[in-house]
Amino acid sequence: MKIGILGAGQLARMLALAGHPLGLETVCFTELAMVPAACCAKLVVGRFDDQSALQHFAQQVDVITFENENIDVNVVEFLSGYCPVYPTSAALALTQDRLLEKQLLQQLEIPVGRCCAIHSLAELEKNSAAFNHDAILKTRRFGYDGKGQWRIRSLDDLAKIKSADLQEPLILEEFIPFDEEVSMIAVRSLQGQIKFYPLTKNVHHQGILKISVAPANSPLENLARDYMARLLTHFNYVGVLAIEFFCKGEQLLANEIAPRVHNSGHWTQNGAVTSQFENHMRAMAQLPLGETTLLAKTAMFNCIGSEPLMTDVLQIPYTHYHHYGKEARALRKLAHINLTYQDDQQFERGYQQLIDLLA
Amino acid sequence: MKIGILGAGQLARMLALAGHPLGLETVCFTELAMVPAACCAKLVVGRFDDQSALQHFAQQVDVITFENENIDVNVVEFLSGYCPVYPTSAALALTQDRLLEKQLLQQLEIPVGRCCAIHSLAELEKNSAAFNHDAILKTRRFGYDGKGQWRIRSLDDLAKIKSADLQEPLILEEFIPFDEEVSMIAVRSLQGQIKFYPLTKNVHHQGILKISVAPANSPLENLARDYMARLLTHFNYVGVLAIEFFCKGEQLLANEIAPRVHNSGHWTQNGAVTSQFENHMRAMAQLPLGETTLLAKTAMFNCIGSEPLMTDVLQIPYTHYHHYGKEARALRKLAHINLTYQDDQQFERGYQQLIDLLA
């Protein structure tokens, strides 16, 4: 069976690697030939606005998925004419727009922080004041890793926002002074079977995920599963879905949805019975889903902008390295490291060694 | 870094898959282009007696290893002129000959069953009688999965052995009425660091490995480690080595050595902190070795001659499928299934379901 993936970055690479043991071949549609997935997947190189290239791609695969939600929905709809695409364009379209996403969450009674659409400076000023000038202005579309975001801490910060920035659709979100950030990752099959991974605790730095630790051991685990199930069922979703939440007291506030395997689930490669990558591939191939149980407490560290010496990492016991094969560039995710737990003391020691190494 | 592998079968495939997360690219030297490793490794297609093809291969890799001990030692010695080959030709030459292997084991004071070289029918008759006609006649070289073996249970069985069979170098081994078969797998780095996997219990059927279960929970674990350490140190070995033992009372009798990743270590992909494949690649790349600790009790089932429906397998909880991408043929290993333990009852149920499914 052949699985098509739109994109050929590190997520496609790790999906393709997880597919081979299941006899699933991966074909990636990509605009560039020098890509992380090239080592273990076939590539169809073409432009996303070239329908004949897309058709050529669709005709050689049995099902299509994507590794990035910033794809033109029209592309997904066009490809759906040739073979199934999971997740569907409905889920994709919705998660591409922060405002529509927040509105759906509200409709499904999943709590979110206060927010509103911004079309003008006057609207920004008025709503920023309503949030006590403690807010984040975000582009509604195509933001990732903190890009397209302006943190507002005072009235003065509004002056930094240029009128050109206000030309695109924006959303203003009140700043949430959260206790911690967690994410819930789950997978759903075409038949409606759902498997939840343990809730994961995340640490961000400058808008980019830096560390994830599973399990979060949070009393909010069941609440997060409940919210996740509502979303998966609403979309008739197939594949892996991630929701990032802010925890505040006994409340979970949904912050973002990602309709794909997610960075905060990379720990599952070494810490769960079945990784998120294998489970996404199983869902695509209509194979029974694998257990999402924890094998061992695991911390995932992103290597951002540069990579440490692999020898320095692997001499720390119980570490695993996951290299992406990308050229180093500032703020770029180049690899991640998983540290699997054996005992608490060893885990803490390894955790601190990795913090120091990656500082 | 580029790792060269002689051969491109399932072992090369699983080595290559384990290499990508470490940023290690694999190049396989193979006589055929349609091979299991083709999905995730580069291939150099050529004949093993073509020195210019071998040279072309050696010049594009940093280190060379092999997935099969039935390679011409001259090939390995030729390649060693271009880049390091691990394990070395000395270890390879020795494990290619059952008699030399047994003699080395005796020299290192690792117990083995009684055996002797056979050059003629007269010698066969005499020694078979000494073993009470309860023995196995084996070719000294190029045997695998029970091929090149004749079981002798009575004087009559000698009549079945043709004079043509006696033309090649043979060894007669007394039959060991063992309690169980186990294997010890370990990995050694160039710097001499050794990591042992838990002793694994094996079940063979018609000379082919059918099931492995780890851990064997054997009181002979430390003895097996001691024997393994003697061999690794003797060879100044680099990479993964496997020893198959017969257990008889409180004794371990070494039966076979394999200078490579081994079928009885496939459970490590899902049941150990670091798989034998990853550790062999780490050893080749001079990276620190990974922990060999058990994550969960695991049973490995070989799919021989035919494959079950993957859906039937994966609907049994806690199973993982490892497909090799080979054409089905009688007695051919086509895939294996790992069942990871979560609790005893669940393990026993899954074990029985797999036995029934593969029957």
B209-232 exposure pattern, b = at least 16 Cβ within 10 A, e = fewer: bbbbbbbbebebbebbbebbebbb
Using DSSP's 3-state secondary structure scheme, residue A73 falls into helix
**Contacts of residue B81, Cβ cutoff 8 Å, sequence gap at least 6:** none
In this complex, the residue of B13, B287, B314 whose CB is nearest that of residue A314 is B287
Quote helix, strand, coil % in chain B, to nearest 5.
Answer: 35, 30, 40
Q: Which two tokens stand for residue A5?
A: 């993936």
Give the mutation candidate from A190, A191, A273, A326 for the B interface (greatest B CB count, under 10 A).
A273
In this complex, the residue of A291, A310, A320 whose CB is nearest that of residue B318 is A291
Instruction: Please list every residue in chain B whose beta carbon sits closer than 8 Å to the beta carbon of residue A311.
Output: 286-288
CB contact under 8 A, B342 and A291: yes
CB contact under 8 A, B17 and A22: no
Give the pLDDT band (50/70/90) at residue A164: confident
Q: Are A150 and A270 in contact, with CB atoms under 8 Å apart? A: no
Q: Which two tokens stand for residue A320?
A: 């695993």
Average pLDDT over residues A9-22: 98
In this complex, the residue of B40, B282, B295 whose CB is nearest that of residue A40 is B40
Please tell me the distance from the alpha carbon of residue B265 to that of residue A142, in angstroms, as a whole number: 46
Please tell me the distance from the alpha carbon of residue B226 to that of residue B32, in angstroms, as a whole number: 40
A-B CB pairs within 8 A amount to 90
Among A77, A90, A65, A80, which Cα is nearest to A11's?
A65
Average pLDDT over residues A184-199: 98
Instruction: Please list every residue in chain B whose beta carbon sits closer than 8 Å to the beta carbon of residue A39.
Output: 20, 25, 40
Question: What pLDDT digit, counting tens, does each position of A24-35 carry?
Answer: 999 999 999 999
Q: Are A57 and A46 in contact, with CB atoms under 8 Å apart? A: yes
Please tell me the distance from the alpha carbon of residue A80 to that of residue A74, in angstroms, as a whole number: 10
Q: Which two tokens stand for residue A110?
A: 């999943």
Q: Which two tokens stand for residue A255?
A: 């912050």
Q: Which two tokens stand for residue A217?
A: 């051991």
pTM of the predicted protein model: 0.96
CB contact under 8 A, B310 and A287: yes
pLDDT beyond 90 at A141: no
In this complex, the residue of B40, B287, B319 whose CB is nearest that of residue A311 is B287
Question: What pLDDT digit, counting tens, does each position of B63-102 carry?
Answer: 999 999 989 999 999 999 999 999 999 999 999 999 999 9
Please tell me the distance from the alpha carbon of residue B263 to that of residue B209, in angstroms, as a whole number: 8
**Contacts of residue A226, Cβ cutoff 8 Å, sequence gap at least 6:** none
CB contact under 8 A, B295 and A296: yes
Alpha helices by DSSP H, B186-220: none
Please tell me the distance from the alpha carbon of residue A56 to that of residue B186, in angstroms, as a whole number: 47
Q: Are B11 and B25 in contact, with CB atoms under 8 Å apart? A: no
Please tell me the distance from the alpha carbon of residue A140 to that of residue B202, in angstroms, as a whole number: 58
Instruction: Please list every residue in chain A whose beta carbon sits closer than 8 Å to the beta carbon of residue B20.
Output: 13, 17, 39-40, 323, 325
Torsion of CA A301, A304, A309, A313, to 10 degrees: 0
In this complex, the residue of A21, A286, A323 whose CB is nearest that of residue B21 is A323
Start-to-end CA span in chain A (Å): 43
The one-digit pLDDT tens for each residue of chain B (359 residues) are 999 999 999 999 999 999 999 999 999 999 999 999 999 999 999 999 999 999 999 999 999 999 999 899 999 999 999 999 999 999 999 999 999 999 999 999 999 999 999 999 999 999 999 999 999 999 998 766 667 889 999 988 888 888 778 888 999 999 999 999 999 999 999 999 999 999 999 999 888 999 999 999 999 999 999 999 999 999 999 999 999 999 999 999 999 999 999 999 999 999 999 999 999 999 999 999 999 999 999 999 999 999 999 999 999 999 999 999 999 999 999 999 999 987 888 899 999 999 999 98
Instruction: Please list every residue in chain A whose beta carbon sits closer than 8 Å to the beta carbon of residue B312.
Output: none
Q: Which two tokens stand for residue B180?
A: 């169980």
Average pLDDT over residues A238-265: 97
Q: Are B112 and B105 in contact, with CB atoms under 8 Å apart? A: yes
What ipTM goes with this model? 0.95
Q: What is the pLDDT of residue A146?
A: 66
Among B79, B85, B105, which Cα is nearest to B94's?
B105
Instruction: Please list every residue in chain B whose beta carbon sits closer than 8 Å to the beta carbon of residue A286.
Output: 311
Give the pLDDT band (50/70/90) at residue A174: very high
**Contacts of residue B335, Cβ cutoff 8 Å, sequence gap at least 6:** B302, B303, B307, B321, B322, B323, B324
